[in-house]
Each structure stands twice: as C-alpha cells, then as structure tokens.
C-alpha cells in the first residue's frame, strides 16, 4: 500500500495549545495536504512556504526528502537504511543536490518490468537554466529500489561523473559482527581477485558492491543496472561497525579498468547517470542474485536453446603447438575414448590462438571431421585487439591501414597484454570482424571464443563514430556488431572481458588462465565465491579449461569439481597421438565419471556457504536441484583436513540421518545434524543427498 506524507515545520509547539487542540490541528493539516495530493498537485518547495520534508512510501521502502538541504533518508522496514543521501554531478564544476535552494517533488504510479510501485521525483533549481532531477523508484514487492540523477541545462551539459547516491553520514552495522565490504573487479584480466574486505578501511568496487555481516548474512547491496555508457564505481569507507561514507557513481577509471585517460563525457540537453540498485537483504548471497536478476530485466542474456556446453580447448596444453593433424587426433580421441563426454549429444572441439596457421581448406576439413565424429567445432578471435605490430599493414577491402583503427590515448596507441587496442566503432575494425566471422561461418564453426575484449572498453581520445564518447558506449557498439554478425546459431563465449555489459555472449570466463594446479583452482574459485551470481546475467559461467596432466589425482578432482560447479565444462589436455598417456588415462577416469558428468549437465552455479574469506576462495559451496542437495568441499592445503559441515548455515535442518553419496569415490554415508568431512591435501569432495 502506498503512503505519501508531507510534514510541515509550522506545527505548533506543545506548550501553545492543549493536546486535543494540537491533535485536531495536526489532523486538519494532514487532511489539507492529502487534498492537495489527491488533486494531483503534489509539489513541495522549500523557501516559498514552511514545508521541510517530503515523504513517499511503498512496500518496505520509504524516502524522506529534506527540502531544506537537498538530502534524502532512504528507509527500509521503518528504519533509516542510508541517511542524508544526496546527488553529485561534475560539469566540470561539482554541483550537488545540496547546493540548490528550491526542491519540488512529485510522484507517479509505475508498472514496469520490475513490478508495481511509485516513482518519486525531486527537481532542484536555483532560478537559472540548470535543473537537477533525482528519481527514486520504489516497488511494492521488491527488496530493492532504483535511484538515478539527471541534469538539464539549456542549450546542453556534459559530464563524466554522476552520482545518484552519496552520503557522508554514518550507517551502523552489528557490533562484534564479521562485517565485510565486497570489492568486485572490473574484468577478469591479470589474475585479479574479488575481495571481501573486513570493515576498517576504504574499498573501491566496480559495478556492484555488498556491505554485509557474514555472521548474520544481512546486507546492503548497491550497484548499477544500466551498462550503456558508464563504468560504475562504488566506494565505501568503514570503521569496525559502521559505514562512514558511501558513493555510487558513473565515471570511474583506474589501473583496474586499465585506463590511462579519465572517463569519457556524455553530453546533451539532459544527461543521465546509471540507475543504482539499492537493496536490503537478509542474506548477501540472495542480494547479489537479485541484483543479477534486475540487470537481466534491463538487458536479457543472449539466449541459448541447447544444454550446458561440454568441450575441449587447445590453449589448455597444446597452445601454440596446435596443428591440423593434432586437432584431428584430438577429435578422434573424444570420439573413441570419451564418447560419453557430451551434452545433448554434442561436444565442442575448439581451436584457440594458433589456428591462423591452418589454411581455409584445413579449417573446413577440421570442421567436417568433427561432424563425422558427431561433434561441433569451435574457434577463437580477438575482435578489438591487433597483434600485428606493423601499423602500416593495409586492411583488406578498405583504404585503411591498421594504424587508422587504433584507439588512441593522448595521441598514442594503447597496448594491453601485448595487443594494440582497436576502435570498436571504426569501419576498418568492423571489416576485420566481418571477414573473420565470414571465414568461421564458411567453414562451419558453431562455437566462438572471443578474447581480450577489455581492449574495446578502454577510454579513447575520440572514436570514429562521433556519437560515441565513452569506452563502455564503444564496447556496446562493438559487441553488438559481433553478436549480430555471428547470429544466434553460433555459441559466443567471452574470455578476458569486462563483467558488464553482459547481453552479447552466452557465457563468460569467470577467471582466466586457470589450468590444473591447486593454486590455479583456488584462484578460479575466488571468482566463483564472490561472482557465482553472474550466471544470472549470462546463461553460463565458464571456469576455463581443465588440465589434468602434470598434476596429482587430488588436484585433478579439485580442478574438475571447480569446473562442474561453475558452469560449462571445458577440457584442455593434449589428446593428440603424442600427448601424454597419463593425461589420457586420467581424462577417461575423471571426465568419464557418470555422476560428475550428470551434475555437470545441470544448468547451475554453486554458491559459497561463507563470505568471509578475504581474497581467498571459500572451502564449501552448495547447490539445490529439486530435492537433490549438493555440497562441494575443497582443501587447498598440502595435508588432510577436517571441514565441519554447518548444517544450519546450509539451511538443511536435518532431524534424522540422511544417506549421502560422495560422487568421486562412489561411497555412501549417513549425514547427521553435526558432521565433519575429511578432505585429502590438494583435493576435493562432492556430495549429493536428498534434502
């Protein structure tokens, strides 16, 4: 039910009239204001009258807007969640909602993709052509609201920094709790990690952050749901039991985004920030999954009608040693030795970097050979980066040279990971993309891995398309072109790439360059621990290729388990005729486990049981599929370790023993209300039981 109240500072003090008269006066004032509201005349402005507070409520949410100083108290469940929040826009001079003397409020009922609710708008002015417009969308049945800020100026304005949510007023968190601020990386390059930072410092996160007590799991989750123009930052400052400042804004660049330039500017008669998701949740994990769902409402994932992809990728072990002959032999190995390693009757045999040594005839022959083995063929490209260092090389079919396509910063080409960034909006770049995809289609490839995509999101001096002014805007243009040119029948997997925007690919590698050692498995699982929810904005997460040869059997189980619980399942060993016999034997044992393969075929991403591991991965992950409940346990140390199963934290509520099967060993045991599992050093266990 929607409640809207406007309170006035002209209420008499209690010593000027009787309690009854005071009550009647207040009722009269309230009815007067309600009459104004029902007449559709809600407009409160400070300075012309005595109104100092405008409030709107729906569901659990309420906004109390202080007209005297341009700040808002964001309330949930009758309590202030975020106090004295205000908006900030850099023009380049910084202006805030607190700088304006006049604030006019209005509201309208909304019914959109998020549900039914109310949109509360505050227009702030000061007698000139400038106008700041803050919006708060509150929904009846949601645990979150959406906040944004716009700025209007005649004839126009430009900005590279817009914050709908800034506060410098403390928010208290539980004393003695395990309070954490989640730092999410911009992309998955250079082995970067998620971090659950204990309260007591400053934390910068990209696109989304969660502030939570791991003990109770209660959380405040804040992030952007629009990823068309802005790179979003969420910066928090904390003490042991309080958030002392918080700012969520569009316009962040840093070494984490790999930028050397400031964020690009957007311009127009009206400019808009990204909308910020602000949610209050009993469980931080539910909050991040809900955030993913909200993002998917704005930009639905690229659809995939098939099942969870099973496959092989040459970069795992063969890398630059890939050849036509070896690729054919790998296809034959899967057909002969691992016929059950497939899903929906399909396994993808993928060529990674190094395929350019194949002739067009060999590419076509490789695809046809895969088809003869009832397989599909995959291939690799880097649409926004160039590895040819000769900038004078002509771009075939155009009048351009490679150097004409470069995305410049300060007049210089930008080189990241050894590749030169290309302008995604340049017709020369698009010609390279179109020619490459045409080659893939002509040969018959059905799976494409796109890598080094962050190159296309870098801020540049300028773009060929003059309408494009920011790195994310250019990246959207480039990825849309890639996705449309590929078409829906080809599966698109992103490798090194920003987390958002997400709607152009079927899956994304949750962490890159993980092979087979326990340290690499732990690194990958750090991304699953705090980024499993990305399976809500992509159809699937990708745990990178699973390499078995050269590692212990325990490490093999841990690495395979990490892939199975993450999303798609991609092998990476050298299965050519000269490949390791040990690697092939291990593959048949590990990849051929029917229980493991059965779980891998379920569309899912396990989530962590705990979120207090700092920069490390969690040891326990769980997932429920109908009545089947799964728990994965990892031991990253060298020695056998006992791990307590926190039955209540798992939400199991076991009152009597239940039969549990460990899927790697096939052994069964009774699980009781209090159990400890023992995992060998550098190993993993995977349990299934009926909840």
**Average pLDDT over the chain, rounded to an integer:** 92
Buried b (16+ CB within 10 A) or exposed e, 30-65: eeebeeeeeeeebebbbeeeebbbbbbbbbbbbbbb
- The predicted pLDDT at position 51 comes to 67
User: Both 156 and 214 in a single domain?
Assistant: yes
Which of 414, 443, 421, 428 lies closest to 356, judged by CA? 443
- Which CATH number does the domain housing residue 195 bear? 2.70.98
- Which token pair is 510? 């949750």
What DSSP assignment string belongs to 42-77?
Answer: ----BTTBSEEEEEEEETTEEEEEETTTTEEEEEET
User: Both 289 and 330 in a single domain?
Assistant: no
> Do residues 636 and 617 make contact, with C-beta atoms less than 8 angstroms apart?
yes
User: Both 374 and 523 in a single domain?
Assistant: yes
User: Both 340 and 293 in a single domain?
Assistant: no
pLDDT digits (tens, 9 = 90+) for 145-192: 999 999 999 889 999 999 999 999 999 998 989 999 999 999 999 999
pLDDT digits (tens, 9 = 90+) for 100-134: 999 999 999 999 999 999 999 999 999 888 999 99
Instruction: Judge residue 207's burial from the number of C-beta atoms within 10 Å of its C-beta, 0-12 exposed, 13-18 middle, 19 or more buried.
Output: buried
Residue 415 falls within a domain, yes or no? no
User: Which residue do the tokens 């958030």 mark?
Assistant: 243
Cα-trace Rg, the chain: 28
User: Both 345 and 274 in a single domain?
Assistant: no
- Which CATH number does the domain housing residue 337 bear? 3.20.20.70
Handedness of CA 398, 400, 403, 407 (dihedral sign): negative
The rounded distance, in Å, linking the Cα atoms of 631 and 213 is 23
Residue 51 falls within a domain, yes or no? no
User: Both 92 and 143 in a single domain?
Assistant: yes
- The predicted pLDDT at position 281 comes to 98
The rounded distance, in Å, linking the Cα atoms of 29 and 32 is 5
The rounded distance, in Å, linking the Cα atoms of 333 and 636 is 31
pLDDT digits (tens, 9 = 90+) for 219-252: 999 999 999 999 999 999 999 999 999 999 999 9
pLDDT digits (tens, 9 = 90+) for 53-67: 999 999 999 999 999
pLDDT digits (tens, 9 = 90+) for 435-464: 999 999 999 999 999 999 999 999 999 999
Judged by DSSP in three states, 598 sits in helix
User: Both 203 and 326 in a single domain?
Assistant: no
User: Both 515 and 655 in a single domain?
Assistant: no
User: Both 143 and 275 in a single domain?
Assistant: yes
- Which CATH number does the domain housing residue 648 bear? 2.60.40.1180
- The predicted pLDDT at position 670 comes to 83
> Do residues 459 and 470 make contact, with C-beta atoms less than 8 angstroms apart?
yes
The rounded distance, in Å, linking the Cα atoms of 15 and 599 is 72
> Do residues 374 and 450 make contact, with C-beta atoms less than 8 angstroms apart?
no
User: Both 565 and 632 in a single domain?
Assistant: no
Say which DSSP state 471 is in.
H
pTM for this entry: 0.92
Instruction: Encode 314-371 in three state secondary structure.
Output: CCCCCHHHCCHHHHHHHHHHHHHHCCCCCECCECEEECCCCHHHCCHHHHHHHHHHHH
pLDDT digits (tens, 9 = 90+) for 467-493: 999 999 999 999 999 999 999 999 999
Handedness of CA 155, 226, 79, 205 (dihedral sign): negative
Residue 305 falls within a domain, yes or no? no
Cα separation values, 391 from 387, 403, 405, 633, Å = 10, 4, 9, 50
How many domains are contained in the chain? 3
Handedness of CA 338, 340, 341, 344 (dihedral sign): positive
- The predicted pLDDT at position 127 comes to 84
112: Cβ contacts below 8 Å, ≥ 6 apart? none
User: Both 284 and 317 in a single domain?
Assistant: no
User: Both 118 and 204 in a single domain?
Assistant: yes
pLDDT digits (tens, 9 = 90+) for 362-415: 999 999 999 999 999 999 999 999 999 999 999 999 999 999 999 999 999 999
> What domain range is 671 assigned to?
618-690
> Do residues 407 and 462 make contact, with C-beta atoms less than 8 angstroms apart?
no
- The predicted pLDDT at position 691 comes to 61
Residue 612 falls within a domain, yes or no? no
- Which token pair is 248? 């969520």
Confidence class for position 653, pLDDT limits 50, 70, 90: confident
Rounded to a whole number, what is the largest CA-CA distance in the chain? 98
User: With 80 as the cut, is the pLDDT of residue 656 above it?
Assistant: no
User: With 90 as the cut, is the pLDDT of residue 36 above it?
Assistant: no
The domain boundary, picked from 600, 633, 662, lies at 600
- The predicted pLDDT at position 659 comes to 86
- The predicted pLDDT at position 313 comes to 98
For residue 582, count other CB atoms closer than 10 A to its CB. Answer: 12
Residue 65 falls within a domain, yes or no? no
Residue 69 falls within a domain, yes or no? no
Helix (H) or strand (E) holding 492: strand 491-494
Residue 635 falls within a domain, yes or no? yes
- The predicted pLDDT at position 83 comes to 98
The rounded distance, in Å, linking the Cα atoms of 504 and 486 is 10
The domain boundary, picked from 298, 328, 358, lies at 298
User: With 60 as the cut, is the pLDDT of residue 8 above it?
Assistant: no
The rounded distance, in Å, linking the Cα atoms of 451 and 509 is 10
The domain boundary, picked from 569, 600, 631, lies at 600
Instruction: Judge residue 642's burial from the number of C-beta atoms within 10 Å of its C-beta, 0-12 exposed, 13-18 middle, 19 or more buried.
Output: exposed
- The predicted pLDDT at position 566 comes to 98
Residue 43 falls within a domain, yes or no? no
């Amino acid at each position: 039910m929607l409640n809207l109240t406007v309170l006035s500072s002209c209420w008499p003090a209690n010593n000027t009239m009787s309690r009854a008269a005071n009550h009647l006066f207040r009722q009269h004032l309230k009815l007067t204001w309600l009459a104004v509201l029902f007449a559709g005349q809600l407009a409160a402005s400070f300075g012309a009258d005595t109104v100092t507070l405008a409030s709107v409520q729906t569901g659990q949410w309420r906004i109390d807007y202080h007209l005297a100083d341009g700040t808002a108290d964001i309330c949930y469940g009758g309590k202030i969640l975020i106090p004295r929040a205000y908006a900030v826009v850099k023009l380049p001079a910084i202006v805030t909602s607190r700088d304006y003397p006049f604030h006019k409020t209005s509201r309208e009922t909304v019914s959109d993709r998020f549900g039914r609710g109310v949109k509360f708008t505050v227009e702030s002015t000061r007698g000139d052509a400038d106008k700041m417009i803050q919006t708060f969308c509150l929904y009846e049945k949601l645990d979150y609201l959406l906040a944004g800020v716009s700025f209007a100026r005649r004839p126009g304005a430009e900005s590279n920094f817009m914050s709908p949510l800034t506060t410098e007023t403390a928010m208290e968190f539980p004393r003695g709790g395990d309070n954490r601020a989640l730092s999410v990386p911009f992309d998955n390059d250079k082995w970067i990690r998620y971090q659950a930072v204990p309260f007591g410092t400053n934390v910068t996160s990209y696109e989304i952050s969660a502030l939570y007590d791991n003990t109770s799991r209660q959380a405040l989750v804040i992030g952007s749901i629009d990823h068309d123009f802005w790179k979003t930052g969420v910066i928090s400052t904390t003490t042991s039991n309080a958030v002392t400042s918080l700012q969520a804004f569009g316009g962040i660049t840093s070494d984490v985004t790999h930028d050397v330039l400031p964020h690009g500017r957007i311009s127009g008669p009206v400019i808009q920030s990204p909308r910020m998701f602000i949610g209050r949740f009993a469980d931080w994990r539910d909050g991040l999954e809900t955030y993913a769902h909200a993002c998917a409402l704005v930009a639905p994932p690229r659809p995939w009608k098939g099942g969870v992809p099973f496959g092989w990728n040459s970069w795992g072990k063969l890398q630059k040693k890939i050849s036509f002959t070896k690729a054919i032999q790998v296809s034959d190995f899967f057909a002969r030795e691992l016929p059950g390693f497939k899903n929906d009757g399909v396994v993808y045999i993928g060529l990674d970097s190094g395929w350019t040594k194949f002739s067009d005839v060999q590419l076509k022959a490789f695809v046809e050979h895969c088809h003869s083995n009832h397989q599909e063929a995959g291939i690799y490209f880097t649409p926004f980066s160039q590895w040819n260092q000769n900038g004078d090389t002509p771009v075939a079919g155009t009048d351009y040279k490679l150097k004409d396509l470069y995305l410049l910063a300060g007049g210089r080409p930008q080189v990241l990971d050894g590749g030169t960034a290309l302008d995604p909006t340049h017709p020369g770049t698009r010609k390279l993309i179109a020619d490459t995809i045409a080659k893939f289609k002509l040969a018959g490839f059905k799976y494409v891995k796109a890598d080094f995509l962050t190159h296309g999101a870098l801020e540049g001096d300028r773009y060929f398309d003059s309408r494009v002014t920011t790195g994310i805007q250019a990246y959207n243009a480039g990825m849309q072109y890639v996705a449309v040119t590929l078409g829906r029948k080809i599966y698109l997997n992103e490798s090194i790439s920003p987390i958002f925007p997400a709607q152009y690919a079927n899956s994304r590698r949750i962490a890159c360059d993980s092979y087979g050692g326990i340290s690499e498995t732990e690194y990958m699982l750090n991304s699953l621990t705090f980024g499993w929810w990305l399976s809500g904005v992509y159809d699937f997460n990708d745990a990178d290729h699973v390499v078995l040869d050269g590692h212990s059997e325990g490490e093999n189980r841990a690495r395979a388990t990490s892939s199975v619980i993450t999303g798609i399942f991609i092998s990476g060993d050298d299965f050519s005729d000269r490949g390791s016999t040990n690697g092939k034997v291990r593959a048949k044992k590990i990849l051929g486990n029917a229980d493991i393969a059965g779980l891998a075929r379920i569309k899912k991403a396990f989530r962590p049981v705990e979120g207090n591991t700092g920069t490390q991965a969690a040891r326990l992950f769980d997932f429920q599929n109908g009545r089947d409940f799964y728990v994965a346990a990892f031991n990253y140390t060298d020695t056998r370790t006992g791990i307590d199963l926190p039955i209540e934290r798992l939400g199991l509520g076991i009152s009597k023993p239940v039969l549990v099967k460990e899927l790697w060993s096939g052994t069964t045991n009774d699980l009781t209300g209090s159990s400890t599992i023992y995992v060998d050093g550098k190993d993993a266990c995977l349990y299934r039981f009926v909840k």
